[in-house]
Structure 1
Amino acid sequence: MSATPNDPSTPNTPNTPNTPSTPDASYLVDGLRFAFGTLTVVPVRVTRWDREAARGGMLWAPLVGVAVGAAAALCGVVLLALGAGAPLAAVCSVAVPAALTRGLHLDGLADTADGLGSGKPAEDALQIMKRSDIGPFGVVTLVFVLLGQVAALAQAYGDSWARGALAAVVAATAGRLALTSAAPAPVPAAPAPRAPS
């Protein structure tokens, strides 16, 4: 019986076609679909959910950031062209990425703040982070982060429309680039579950 290229039981060796050292067109396309399908609300048909597709998706994450940032910048620039002030353009440029990403990054930030702010041992903090509700630390963190983003973009848009647009694109791209750079060195959030004895 021969193993298929995406078979998880197949060792990931240089001779295996699904290694990143020998990417083919399908690897790149699957990675692009994975990136847009998981990091945005764009209705992309994700056909693969394996490690190789995820790895490709993380490589494409900065491109997702460029697209999200460009949409945010476009919203801000259009509002400025219509005569709105820099603060309203900044609010729109912060709201667009939140809407395009389903608030994924904001939810994760709130969960992290709740877990770290709980003062509980690591295991209990992880349980708090897994809950679907947002606690007081999460709310306060979101308020300050969103206010900071709006204030920074309002200042940039106040200087010039180009500076505000560039700031929106750079911020969105840098955030996704951090995801790409963190992908090669995973840090487990929780210990692996023990097998029942």
Structure 2
Amino acid sequence: MNRLSIHRRAPSRRAPHVRGFSLLEIVIAVALLATLAAVVAMRSGGAIDKGKVGAVLQSVDSLKTACVSYHADTGSFAWEYSGYSATDRKLSGTQTAAGWAGPYLEAPLASGQNPWNGTIHVYATSATAGQAGFDVDGDGAVDVTSNSNMLYLSNVPATAAQSIDNALDKGAAGTWSTSGRVTYTASGGVLRILLHY
């Protein structure tokens, strides 16, 4: 007997039809991702500014220590100008002053230490760089006019300058930009910090 063989079709192994994304859905997703990236970028800008302010505050501490030590050893006030010759680097260069026991800084002051890419100097007087001195107590009268060490920074944004003032003056009397140990001039973003007097 002949058997008739019946061929049956094997069940299809094709995947069920999957629908793709439309162009409109892709555009909406890209727009949402761009918005999210913009928000993250804006928030990280504040963190960058905080980091720059923190760097200046650390520099203030190390420069103040160096200035106090130099004054205690020599009886005079040092200056340190970034980008100048060894004769203008009293804190980092070898000196012949009586009592000198430095160097007081490991490396010369450099423009890279100003996070806003401006000038950075330590002056041996507070009455320089367009300033008559410091009104330390905020009563409107200049208290320190010479015989001091002042840190000078340029290109500093006002918001950063005010943050530095808040950290160093901690609510001293008077206007934040003109009294206390920190003064600020918007023209040129000039920040002056009294280190030692």
Q: How does the TM-score come out when normalised to structure 2?
A: 0.31
- Structure ranking higher in strand proportion: 2
Structure with larger RCO (C-alpha < 8 A, sep 6+): 1
Q: Higher Cα Rg: structure 1 or 2?
A: 2
